[in-house]
Amino acid sequence: MTTTKARSYAAHNATAPLAPLTIDRREPTPTDVEIEILYCGVCHSDLHTARSEWPGTLYPCVPGHEIVGRVTRVGDGVKRFKSGDLVAVGCMVDSCRTCPSCQAGLEQYCHAFPTLTYNGPDKFLGGHTFGGYSTSIVVDEAFVLRVPAGLDLAATAPLLCAGITTYSPLRHWKVGPNMKVGIVGLGGLGHMAVKFARAFGAQVVLFTTSPGKVADGLRLGAHEVVISKEAGAMRKHLASFDFILDAVSAPHDINTYLSLLKLDGTLTLVGAPGEPLPVAAFNLLLPRRNFAGSAIGGIRETQEMLDFCAAHHITADIELIPIQHINEAWERLLKQDVKYRFVIDMASLKAG
């Protein structure tokens, strides 16, 4: 298969800083869309993967799965896109497409596991896939999303992971008016969850350990912000929530939040702590409570989310950076020193 060259930033091992690397992209097949990448969000998953904090990292690793760009070429069989269209790519670039999950539009739960945008098997060129910290990408049209008019393109990029990761469980558990909803943690995921829950009409309570985030929580749409280290403030909410979305990836006491659920309430985990979270059985048994998890959404739901965001003027709060500052941004990300998502301006990579 013939290829073209693209510039990228890659990690060559678990301890090396990201550095420039020229990579191969395939020439578009009949169903492919070639995309000039304009912006790419910086997800904590990028750091976890590149530094081998999650198992199975393949090097060189080119991270990035929050991609917004412009179509430059399409294959002869492409029906939905043309050159010049503004498009997006999220965490997946393929799946088996035949299993019950894929047939139901839930490609993220593909029984054969979806092909990830980076660090997944590349069935065309061999080796593994390279992500959005690059000047271009080629993706089958079935996994390309249309960016609605009116959205700020840079601030749209994080919707492709942080956005859909929080939108999907809120939709699945039918969050809406007359529901009391808790959001745990105000970071890249949490700030999007607050915006969505408020837009869905729920009464939104944000839980944070940081008193300095109270004003931001209210600005983003929370009706109330509770400092979770204050026992008295937490007791006021015992057994009162219909739904809680936990977006914290660090170790924390999940039982504290389970105790806030009412009868048949659900706590859904979207953060990914590195260690198991002990659960006290009676926190689930009395009263009857549900403890669940959720990944990203499927392609159909991700498009629905983008359309919803355009209709309700929702995007991420971002800090735009040049690619040359990515290693510094990762160090700041570890310190939670960003409000609330870094986004790379890929013009900086094209310029050299």
Q: Give the 3-state DSSP-derived string for the chain, with helices as H, strands as E and coil as C.
A: CCEEEEEEEEECCCCCCCEEEEEEEECCCCCEEEEEEEEEECCHHHHHHHCCCCCCCCCCECCCCCEEEEEEEECCCCCCCCCCCEEEECCEEECCCCCHHHHCCCHHHCCCCCEECCCCECCCCCCECCCCCECEEEEEHHHCEECCCCCCHHHHHHHHCHHHHHHHHHHHCCCCCCCEEEEECCCHHHHHHHHHHHHCCCEEEEEECCHHHHHHHHHHCCCEEEECCCHHHHHCCCCCEEEEEECCCCCCCHHHHHCCEEEEEEEEECCCCCCCCCCCHHHHHCCCCEEEECCCCCHHHHHHHHHHHHHHCCCCCEEEEEHHHHHHHHHHHHCCCCCCEEEEECHHHHCC
User: Which residue has tokens 């008193």?
Assistant: 211
What pLDDT does residue 352 have? 63
pLDDT tops 80 at residue 259: yes
Neighbours of 335 (CB within 10 A): 7
Per-residue pLDDT of 145-184, as tens digits, reads 999 999 999 999 999 999 999 999 999 999 999 999 999 9
Q: What is the rounded (10 degree) CA torsion for 272, 275, 276, 277?
A: -80
Tell me, what amino acid is at 95? Answer: S
Q: What is the pLDDT of residue 110?
A: 98
Q: Are residues 63 and 205 both part of a single domain?
A: no
Pair (33, 111) in one structural domain: yes
Q: How many folded domains does the chain comprise?
A: 2
Residues 246 and 263 in one domain: yes
* Residue 123 and residue 211 in one domain: no
Q: Are 141 and 236 members of one domain?
A: no
Domain membership of residue 309 (yes or no) is no
CATH code assigned at 277: 3.40.50.720
- Name the average pLDDT for the chain: 97
pLDDT at 136 over 70: yes
pLDDT number for residue 167: 98
Same domain, 20 and 136: yes
> Does any domain span residue 157?
yes
Q: Are residues 119 and 224 in the same domain?
A: no
* 170 occurs within a structural domain: yes
The yes-or-no verdict on residue 1 having pLDDT over 90 is no
Q: Residue 280 falls within a domain, yes or no?
A: yes
Separation of alpha carbons 296 and 270, rounded Å: 9
Contact (CB, 8 A) for 140 and 32: yes
On the question of pLDDT at 55 being above 90, the answer is no
Q: Is residue 310 part of a domain?
A: no
CATH value at residue 150: 3.90.180.10
Together in a domain, 70 and 177 = no
The range of the structural domain enclosing residue 126 comes to 3-161+297-304+315-350
Q: What is the pLDDT of residue 109?
A: 98
Q: For residue 14, is it within any domain?
A: yes
Percent of the chain's residues with pLDDT above 70: 100
Note whether 190 and 144 are same-domain residues: no
pLDDT of 334 above 80: yes
**pLDDT range class, residue 322, cuts 50, 70, 90:** very high
Residue 54 — pLDDT band, cuts 50, 70, 90? confident
- 309 close to 146: Cβ distance less than 8 angstroms: no
For residues 96 and 142, state if they share a domain: yes
Same domain, 154 and 13: yes
The pLDDT tens digits of the residues spanning 177-191 come to 999 999 999 999 999
| Residues 190-228 pLDDT 10s | 999 999 999 999 999 999 999 999 999 999 999 999 999
Domain membership of residue 153 (yes or no) is yes
Among 262, 293, 324, give the residue marking a domain's end: 293
Are residues 252 and 113 located together in one domain of the fold? Answer: no
